[in-house]
């Protein structure tokens, strides 16, 4: 169940992010997954909450990564 929540959150956040940022590198997806895994382990288990947290995280990353 935990892996399913994480996978859905990462997939959704990544899809939304790519729709608005077409010039990003795939390395950000790994950073996103690592960030959301930490959030999930800290008890944020709702997919929607994790997705929003992931999008906010991706927007804070420097543009050149």
Instruction: Summarize pLDDT for 54-63 with one digit per residue, the tens.
Output: 999 999 988 7
Total-model pTM: 0.73
| Predicted local distance difference test score (pLDDT) of residue 26 | 76
| Predicted local distance difference test score (pLDDT) of residue 23 | 81
Query: Is 19 in contact with 11 (CB distance < 8 Å)?
Result: no
| Predicted local distance difference test score (pLDDT) of residue 25 | 72
Instruction: Summarize pLDDT for 10-64 with one digit per residue, the tens.
Output: 999 999 999 988 887 778 899 999 999 888 877 656 788 888 889 999 999 887 6
């Amino acid at each position: 169940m935990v892996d399913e929540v994480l996978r859905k959150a990462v997939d959704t956040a990544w899809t939304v992010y790519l729709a608005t940022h077409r010039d990003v590198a795939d390395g950000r997806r790994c950073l996103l997954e690592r960030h959301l895994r930490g959030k999930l382990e800290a008890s944020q288990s709702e997919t929607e909450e994790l997705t929003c947290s992931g999008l906010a995280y991706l927007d804070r990353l420097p543009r050149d990564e």
